[in-house]
Amino acid sequence: MMGPQRPPLPGGGPDSPDEPADEVDDVIIRALQGEATSAQLADLRRWCGKSTENEAHYQRVAEVWAMTRRAVKTPLRSAPSAERITVEANARLGGTRRALPRSEPRAPRALLLSAAAVAAVLLGGFLLGRLWTGPASTFAATELSTGVGEMATANLSDGSTLRLAPRSRVVMEVGSARRDVHLEGQAFFTVAENASVPFIVHTAAGQARVLGTRFQVVAIDDDVRVVVVEGRVAIETEGGQAEVQAGESSRASGGEAPQVERVDDMRPMLAWLDGQLVFQDTPLRDVAWELEARFGVEVVLPPGPTADRVVSASFTNEGLDQVLSVVCRVASVSCSVQDSVVTIRDPEPETSARVTAPSATISPVGRIGHESLRRINSGGGVLSRGDGDHGRAERGRHPEPDRDRRQHREHRVVALGVPCAPSPHRCVRAGRAGGAAETLRRTHRL
């Protein structure tokens, strides 16, 4: 998402940047770190006071900075296992000696080189085994992995810190001579500076060479996206090169040349560090990966353009059925869950191609049971459950909507830009052909 251009800081010269797209964030970060000069602080105060937009941008940068600092200081969200405690202790001591097969890496699809100091977030596609081909050899490594809904933290021997997202895995080889991490899934790194020994994170989509900076990489198959919080990152693909600066992002698919754009608000991209699930114009194929990692299910998407439908919604502590209820409505698709398989089906022909919802605020519930069956019908918005504690609707059948009005709650769907009426589940904003507002009835068994 392209952000608005911001006016330059007042003044000028080397300590008072006048390039808003490139330099303002650097001054803000130096102020947050306590490294800004008195002249820079005075200029920053005047700049913030010039408009509410400037003040809002400062607050967004400050929140992102605080979020990334909290990520490596937050205790584990679940009780650590004996294996994890052992792994973390070994990591602090320099790593255990484990013989794992390895050969020379293939030519990466993307190589990222950073230029300043502190952290990285990467998302790979559970494809570590595809990184290597050729004869096997051995190397010393420490392995750390997380299960569904778990997060883990490890302190490495070089002073770096690793925060591992749910259903992810890293193989670490960190010592005085090399600092290599092979990642499947998602992780946040606070990297200690060491110019003579670069910190390299390998994924199936490429590798990131970290000298010390804050940036995020999303790498799924041959798609790579880079978002820079602090410093600069050079991204190189088969199609070309680009330099990405603080407050910018770049994305390339299928070896194409990377394109750089401004990011106005990167908080949704880092929300997982606070345990939130946030989608902002996120394609269904990416939503599917997040659901699999968070809830331990398999998501089956139909072939064709359905996977390109986008979702905008946020969740905190909601269970799978609540999340699916919103996601499938927002994306205008039909979903069913049986055992641990979520099946997403093509929508009805008249269903809108894109729907956007505000943040969901639904009370937390337990995880889906393996014996349950839930169907969400995109046409009528009907949710039928097979769990005894969630209602007594007959499995596989939808209640008749006009038989018992006590079973119904209205959800108003309006054209984009029109305020929603108050609702226990908040409204869903929908841009539909013709722009007409309509009321959908979503049936819940009380």
Q: 130-176 pLDDT, tens per residue?
A: 222 223 223 346 888 888 888 888 888 888 887 888 888 888 888 77
Residue 219: pLDDT band with limits 50, 70, 90: low
**How confident is the model over 293-317, as pLDDT tens digits?**
888 889 999 888 888 888 988 888 8
The rounded distance, in Å, linking the Cα atoms of 167 and 148 is 5
Equal CATH topology for 82-267 and 276-443: no
* pLDDT tens figures, 366-425: 333 333 333 333 333 333 333 433 333 333 334 444 444 333 333 332 223 333 333 333
Given 3.55.50.30, 2.60.40.10, 3.20.20.120, 3.40.50.300, which CATH number is that of 276-443?
3.55.50.30
- pTM as predicted: 0.47
Q: Does CATH place domain 82-267 in 2.60.40.10? A: no
The pairs formed by 4-9 with CB atoms below 8 angstroms and a separation of 24 or more are: 4/53, 4/264, 5/262, 6/53, 6/54, 6/57, 7/47, 7/50, 7/51, 7/54, 8/47, 9/43, 9/44, 9/46, 9/47
For the chain, give every domain's residue range: 82-267, 276-443
| Nearest CA-CA partner of 395 in 428, 380, 373, 418 | 373
Which residue type sits at 203? T
The confidence score (pLDDT) of residue 396 equals 38
